[in-house]
Amino acid sequence: MELLKKGFAWVVLFFKDNSKRHIYTTLNKELILKENAELYKDRIYDFSKKQYISFDKVVSVEITANKEEFDSEVDKYVGRFV
């Protein structure tokens, strides 16, 4: 959580239907306002896709500073079909 309070980080949102979504975000109010976004209690802004994501169906989250951790997971999955 400290990563998000200080700056930007990659977050994986896990949903009730077992799906997940990777977003690039922050909880730092100054950074959010600098990007012309807003801070809400029930939504978080995904700076990579320029849209708000609702928390209503999120069951858990993982936070990391490096996108590479997520990319390697995708590469492993895709590699099975190539």
Q: In 3-state terms, the chain is what percent helix, strand and coil (to 5)?
A: 30, 35, 40
**Counted domains in the chain:** 1
Domain that holds residue 45: 2-79
**Cα–Cα distance for residue pair 43/75, rounded to 1 Å:** 29
**Residue 55's pLDDT is what?**
87
**Residue 49's pLDDT is what?**
93
pTM of the model: 0.77
pLDDT per position as a tens digit, 37-69 = 998 989 999 999 999 999 888 999 999 887 766
The runs of H, that is alpha helices, within 13-67 are 29-34
pLDDT per position as a tens digit, 7-31 = 999 999 898 888 888 899 999 999 9
